[in-house]
Structure 1
């Protein structure tokens, strides 16, 4: 069964716009769990413009489902992972000023760097995932790092889905087959939505986890959080 991990960065963005603690990031995470989410994802960035490092510690102490921390492995990020020891760390090649993740790793160029990090995190009992595109060579070099999983960057799929969903999904199906053959677990995320998630799942039913934030939180403004999580989980059947 493909697990749904809810990325709560957007909740923190709304809170930070006014200061204070409304909406309460921790309470939203707990509600997501109560409403059926199987994981919580956060992506702290150096400027703390949404998720703050304190949020990460607060969440670790309270949530009961999988905890996935995404981010670029800067010195501060690495120390955070060592301290918190989440269920999973997802390594993302974001520049510090990136608005959102917009590319996967060049795992061939950065193989040694990633391998050293993965060895360190796995020794602590933290599952590792590398954010990648669909290029077969990139996936092969991801496997050489020793990572447990990759996370397929799905923005290209979401962009082309309305024009031709069969062409949009094709490279992801092939990438997933290669990853599976190499013994990698497969996650997916970025711009997955109620419109395109079920088609993605039906074509790659062995995806282990999808991480969804922007679209899910936006839908919750209209449907409510409980109904929205149920709708996303229904797409994974």
Structure 2
């Protein structure tokens, strides 16, 4: 069964909209773990519009499952943060400055040497590294030569195509996952996975290690409650 890592960025967004500490990000993370999540994910950005850098330090003290920090490793502040906190996993995402949300994976061919150098920094510190990639076999094969431990498949295209033709939508992800498995890479996935499309994705990617879900899960929790929602997502992965 793939691990469910809950991305708590949206909790921080809601808190920041009014100031103060409501909702309490730390308590929400504790509750997600208590409800069955097997990881907590954050994606701090330079403007700290949702997760603040201090949040990352505070979460490190209380997360008892797996702590995953996503972000743009081209920002030295992010690199320094990860090395200071030493999470179980760092996920490298090629975000542009001011980007609202992640919208593409690494070009592991063009940026091969950069990724090798950067991944080595984190790996030497004992941190598992995952890199965000599009579902393209050549990109996955090139990722395998960077020294990364895992890839994270960027699943927006799958999510958008699911309703129209789920077999067609999943096809490139199956091929990419098979390439990753052949190369000995672990497989994570994330972006726009939800209660409608998650089960089919997991069923067709049997080597899937972990999914990171935030926006959809927190949105669903407004209707179903946080505990029930976490359990609903876990059932999609069972």
Length-normalised TM-score, structure 2: 0.99
- Per-residue deviation, 1:62: 1.0
- 1:148-174 CA-partner distances (Å, limit 9, x unpaired): 000000000000000000000000001
Count of residue pairs brought into register by the alignment: 237
The equivalent of 1:9 in structure 2 is 9
Counterparts of 1:129 and 1:107 in 2: how far apart (Å)?
12
Counterparts of 1:205 and 1:34 in 2: how far apart (Å)?
26
The equivalent of 2:153 in structure 1 is 152
- Per-residue deviation, 1:9: 0.2
Counterparts of 1:135 and 1:171 in 2: how far apart (Å)?
7
Which consecutive unaligned segments of at least 5 residues does structure 1 have?
none
Q: What's the Cα RMSD here?
A: 0.5
- Per-residue deviation, 1:90: 0.1
The equivalent of 1:52 in structure 2 is 52
SS in structure 1 of the partner of residue 41 of structure 2? strand
Residue 27 of structure 2 is aligned to residue 27 of structure 1: yes
Counterparts of 1:204 and 1:140 in 2: how far apart (Å)?
17
The equivalent of 1:77 in structure 2 is 78
Counterparts of 2:106 and 2:164 in 1: how far apart (Å)?
27
Which consecutive unaligned segments of at least 5 residues does structure 2 have?
none
The equivalent of 2:196 in structure 1 is 195
Residue 227 of structure 2 is aligned to residue 226 of structure 1: yes
Counterparts of 1:79 and 1:26 in 2: how far apart (Å)?
22
SS in structure 2 of the partner of residue 188 of structure 1? strand
Counterparts of 1:146 and 1:100 in 2: how far apart (Å)?
26
Q: List 4+ stretches of structure 1 deviating above 4 A.
A: none
The equivalent of 1:117 in structure 2 is 118
Residue 168 of structure 2 is aligned to residue 137 of structure 1: no
Counterparts of 1:206 and 1:235 in 2: how far apart (Å)?
15
SS in structure 2 of the partner of residue 96 of structure 1? coil
The equivalent of 1:36 in structure 2 is 36
